[in-house]
Amino acid sequence: MSSVDIHPLVSGARAVPDFATFLRIEMLLALRRRADIANPLLFFVSVLALLPLGLGPEPELLANVAPGMIWVMALLATLLSQESLLRSDFENGTLEQLTLLPQPLYFAVLAKSLVHWIATGLPLALLSPLLAVMLNLPGEGYLCLFVSLLMGTASLSLIGAIGAALTVAVRRPGLLLALIVMPLYVPVLIFGTGAVQAAIDGYAYSAQLAILAALLAAAAALAPLATAVAVRISLDN
């Protein structure tokens, strides 16, 4: 095992960890694996760069498909990075140790999802205006695209963690993970693209954003519970 793989919980901390500790540890781990942060972003940008090559460079056409394409690509980028969310922790035994802590697994899992969002969703949202310019998205949609991606990707990270936990013991989970998580992503996608489309058409879009916020609140409260149960199930394997 290389030194990079050693989990800080195993190597250092003595005291019983709280949520802040989990968060700090996960951030540290994420910063150590910079490629894992960069890859979804590069995927996001490169697929969106392929789009004008496939569809043709007409500005009107690109403007029409831009909100949907940016959202779908954000969804795929989040999904692709979910696979590694729990993998190394499962392989080196950290996940098992986490279930033995006196704290509920909920907080450890919530910290993981939060850091996953900071490492993928947040940069995607920050990058989205740039891609919106490249795809000729009408100016009215920028703010809404940014805000909807900011909230939507957080829900995606939380929901996707359930799938990651269910498939962590499966040898090659890639496509299986996509298959079981995709249907759960649909409401977020519908309201995310709906908000951007409404903003472009000049309608009020606060209702869609409010629903996205409600989905996020529900996902933050419930998804880590399901993920924690799924982790325990998978560890029985």
Partner 1 sequence: MAWQWFHRLGSPRWFYQKTGAWLPWLALASAVLLIVGSIWGLGFAPEDAKQGNSYRIIFVHVPAAFLALAGYYLMAVSGAIGLIWKMKLAFAVMRAAAPIGAVLTFIALFTGAIWGKPTWGAYWVWDARITSMLILLFLYIGVMALSQAVNREQVADRACALLALVGTVNIPIIYKSVDWWFTLHQPATLRLTEASSIDPSMFYPLLTVIIGFYCMYAWTLLTHTRTLLLRREIRTKWVQQVLTEGK
In the complex with partner 1, the residue whose CB is nearer, 124 or 156, is: 156
Q: Any contact of residue 155 with partner 1 (CB under 8 A)?
A: no
Q: Is 41 exposed, middle or buried (0-12, 13-18, 19+ CB in 10 A)?
A: middle
Q: Any contact of residue 66 with partner 1 (CB under 8 A)?
A: no
Residue 40: name the closest of 112, 108, 122 by CA: 122
Query: How far is Cα 25 from Cα 35, in angstroms, rounded to an integer?
Result: 18
Q: Any contact of residue 230 with partner 1 (CB under 8 A)?
A: yes
In the complex with partner 1, the residue whose CB is nearer, 21 or 82, is: 82
Q: Are 110 and 224 in contact (CB under 8 A)?
A: yes
Residue from 41, 72, 76, 229 in contact with partner 1 (CB under 8 A): 229
Residues 172-191 that bind partner 1 (CB under 8 A): 173, 176, 179-180, 182-184, 186-187
Which of 2-13 are b and which e, b meaning 16 or more Cβ less than 10 Å from the residue's Cβ? eeeeebbbeeee
Stretch that binds partner 1, among 41-49, 57-65, 81-89, 162-170 (CB under 8 A): 162-170
Tokens of 56: 């043709």
In the complex with partner 1, the residue whose CB is nearer, 115 or 228, is: 228
Stretch that binds partner 1, among 18-26, 66-74, 164-172, 200-208 (CB under 8 A): 164-172
